[in-house]
Amino acid sequence: MTPRFTPGQLHVHSGLDDMVATARALRAVGRKIALVPTMGALHDGHRQLMRTARRLPGTVLAASIFVNPLQFGPDEDYDRYPRPLEADLKICGEERVELAFTPSREQMYPGGPEIMVDPGPLGGELEGASRPGHFAGVLTVVTKLFTIIQPHYAVFGEKDYQQLTLVRKLVRDLNLDVKVIGVPIVRDPDGLARSSRNAYLSDEQRTAAITLSAALVAGARVSAGGAAVVLESARAVLDKEPSVAVDYLELRGADLGPAPEHGEARLLVAARVGSTRLIDNSQVFLGQGED
């Protein structure tokens, strides 16, 4: 269909020009592209995103692997963030990814970025309050990826729920021709949300980290009692584990505005276990119990 692309094979593009040319060629012959943006260190959560994207009809499955420096603060773990590219590409092959975009920092930001995307007020709350500038970096790289790869669909996990919410606002407010699809959190059998940063945890820290998901479950169980009861129950679980340093525990609306008195809401938590910062969240229906 084009000399740049053979269906069913994994094509790895590290250069922007090659990626743009391939995306344009695919669009020219009527193929749709489903993109899974990642920072690599792929795990089962990423596999689920890829499987969701692959089920979209008539699509070419694409994944980007790029550790974005703009979303790391000065005291965060950019330099030690895992970059197992060979293993990541193996997973891409196993999940039948057909396009893998693996640019360098210099290719994405030649000379350093001069233009950034402002995430608005929500970008300074929750994760944004703890990590100033983080979401400007996220939305900037997402905008670049959408421009380069030109996807029809973009698939994101709900574990980074604030990120998902802001990407949806980005697409809406800038009239981008991309449909954003959210995928439920993938968890280990003990409830811990899958994350690339879990690799930093010792066995003892990993056991302590389960407290985050346990707190969310406890809050959801008492959702019929309203917002205050949900937060009190979740906080009580977190307080029992002294090695978990809570950054925030908040209950918000589904769009991360104020929580409603009744209906769908989102319970969010962030905490440090040792030197590793973890986040988690859960859907909660206020005014009614769990199913």
Residue list, annotated binding site for ATP: 39-46, 157-160, 186, 194-197
Q: Among 59, 253, 226, which residue's Cα sits nearest to residue 165?
A: 253
| Its pTM surpasses 0.85 | yes
Residue list, annotated binding site: 39-46, 71, 157-160, 163, 186, 194-197
In the numeric block, which tokens belong to residue 43? 């795990």
pLDDT of residue 290 exceeding 80, the answer is no
Gap between the terminal Cα atoms of the chain: 49
**How many CA atoms are closer than 13 Å to the CA of 20, on its beta-carbon side?**
8
| Least reliable range by pLDDT among 3-12, 40-49, 217-226 | 3-12
* Angle between helix 16-28 and helix 134-149 axes, rounded to 10 deg: 50
pLDDT of residue 160 exceeding 60, the answer is yes
Residue list, annotated binding site for (R)-pantoate: 71, 163
Q: Among 32, 51, 34, 33, which residue's Cα sits nearest to residue 42?
A: 51
Q: For residue 59, give the amino acid letter.
A: T
Tell which wins on pLDDT, 7 or 284: 284
pLDDT of residue 69 exceeding 90, the answer is yes
pLDDT given for residue 111 in this prediction: 84
Q: What mean pLDDT value characterizes the chain? A: 94
| Least reliable range by pLDDT among 60-64, 90-94, 129-133 | 129-133
pLDDT of residue 115 exceeding 70, the answer is yes
pLDDT given for residue 4 in this prediction: 64
Active site residue 13: no
Ordered by where they begin, the domains of the chain are 11-183 (3.40.50.620), 196-286 (3.30.1300.10)
Q: Percent of the chain at pLDDT above 70?
A: 97
The confidence band for 2, taking pLDDT boundaries of 50, 70 and 90, is very low
pLDDT given for residue 155 in this prediction: 98
- Dist. CA 56–CA 51, nearest whole Å: 9
The confidence band for 105, taking pLDDT boundaries of 50, 70 and 90, is very high
Bridge partners (DSSP) of residue 32 are 59
pLDDT given for residue 5 in this prediction: 80
pLDDT of residue 1 exceeding 60, the answer is no
Mean pLDDT across 138-163:
98
The confidence band for 267, taking pLDDT boundaries of 50, 70 and 90, is very high
182-226 residue pLDDT tens = 999 999 999 999 998 898 899 999 999 999 999 999 999 999 999
Residue 148, CA distances (Å) to 16, 21, 141, 183, 262 in order: 7, 9, 10, 23, 42
Catalytic residue among 13, 46, 134, 262: 46
DSSP 124: G
Q: Percent of the chain at pLDDT above 90?
A: 88
Strands (E), the chain: 11-13, 32-38, 59-65, 99-101, 153-157, 179-183, 244-253, 263-273, 276-286
